[in-house]
Amino acid sequence: MEPIPVSYSKMKQTKLVLPPDTNHLDTIFGGKVLAFIDEIAALTAMKHSNAAVVTASIDSVDFLSSAKVGDALTLEAFVTRTGRTSMEVYVKVYADDLLRRHKELTTESFLTMVAVDQDGNPTQVPEIIPETEEEKRLYDTALARKEHRKNRSSLR
């Protein structure tokens, strides 16, 4: 399988934060942000692998600040590194107050997605080619995160 550059499957999505998605402080529910993160990570991994994917783990989620009603929520995702059948995906979420022209990073997350065939069995994925400084940094540190993930689970 030919390795594929990160830029090929990199994704960006913008959503409007609406009242049903928020708590009594008018800020977005963490679970709602997680659903958006899972969705863009799946799309990114599907594009890279050209296969159906499942979420094997949401490895980390850091909520750094909150987004409020009326903010534009922008998600950016890319594959940092691949295993034989798994892909680590990094997602950043920005809240953009368009009226005040103020944008900040609200959330960052690492997920592991696994490509599967029609029977749900893991299937091989192409390797990734990092290009930018950020992509190279996350590619270089991915194996340490994978090791940490394995040690964390009580099942392995």
Ligand X SMILES: CC(C)(COP(=O)(O)OP(=O)(O)OC[C@H]1O[C@@H](n2cnc3c(N)ncnc32)[C@H](O)[C@@H]1OP(=O)(O)O)[C@@H](O)C(=O)NCCC(=O)NCCS
Binding stretches for ligand X (CB under 6 A): 54-57, 83-86, 112, 114, 116, 120, 122, 149
Q: What angle do CA 27, 31, 33 make, to 5 degrees?
A: 65
**Cβ of residue 125: shortest distance to ligand X, in angstroms?**
8
Closer residue to ligand X (CB): 47 or 149: 149
CB count in 10 Å sphere of residue 59: 17
Q: Is 62 helix (H, G, I), strand (E, B) or coil?
A: strand
Closer residue to ligand X (CB): 122 or 126: 122
Closer residue to ligand X (CB): 62 or 117: 117
**Cβ of residue 114: shortest distance to ligand X, in angstroms?**
4
Give which of 32, 49, 132, 35 is closest to 86, Cα–Cα: 49
- The residue at minimum Cβ distance from ligand X is 83
| Distance separating alpha carbons of residues 44 and 49, to the nearest angstrom | 9
N-term to C-term CA, the chain: 29
Closer residue to ligand X (CB): 56 or 72: 56
**Cβ of residue 26: shortest distance to ligand X, in angstroms?**
29
